[in-house]
Amino acid sequence: MATVTGQQPTQAAAVRSAPWVAIAWFAALIVAVYFPVFRHLVGVWSSDDDMGHGFFVPLVAGYLVWQRRERLLAVNWKPAWWGIAIVLLGVAESYVGTLGAEQFLQGTAPLVTLVECC
C-alpha cells in the first residue's frame, strides 16, 4: 500500500500486531486456574453494597489498556526468566490464601499473575 508520497511504508513505520493466540491461551489459563476465586468475588460484589464497584474495575482497566494499545504494541517484548518468579509468587499467594481462608489474598493473586503479562 503506497502512502501519499507514493512510497511504500518502511518496516519501522508498520504497527506490529499483538500475539493474540498467546494472549488468548494465557487468559484462558488465568480464568481456569482462578475460576473459584472469580466466582467468589462476583458473589461478594453482587451481595455486598460496599463492593458493588468491583464489576466496574475490569471494565475501567480494559478501557485504560485500550487507550494505551498503540504504545503497548510498540513495546519490544522479550521473554525474561524472572517472570516465572512473579507467576510463582501469584501461585504461592493463592495457595496461602486458600489454606488460611483469606479472601483478600485469594482475590489479589490473579492480579500478581497479570502483572507478569502486562
* C-beta of residue 81 within 8 angstroms of C-beta of residue 70: no
Q: How many domains does the chain have?
A: 1
Domain membership of residue 56 (yes or no) is yes
The pLDDT of residue 18 = 67
**Is residue 50 situated within a structural domain?**
yes
- Assigned domain for 57 exists: yes
**Residues 17-46: what's their mean pLDDT?**
82
Q: Is residue 5 part of a domain?
A: no
pLDDT value at residue 63: 94
Range of the domain at 106: 20-117
pLDDT (0 to 100) of residue 13: 47
Q: Name the nearest CA neighbour of 30 among 117, 102, 93.
A: 117
Using one digit for the tens of pLDDT, what is the confidence trace for 42-99? 888 889 888 888 888 889 988 998 999 888 888 887 777 887 887 787 777 777 777 7
Is the residue at 59 inside a domain? Answer: yes
Burial bucket for residue 109 (CB in 10 Å: 0-12, 13-18, 19+): buried
Residue 25 lies in a domain: yes
Q: Is the pLDDT of residue 117 over 60?
A: no
Flag whether 4 is in a domain: no
Cα atoms found within 13 Å of the Cα of residue 117, Cβ hemisphere only: 19
In a domain, 43, yes or no: yes
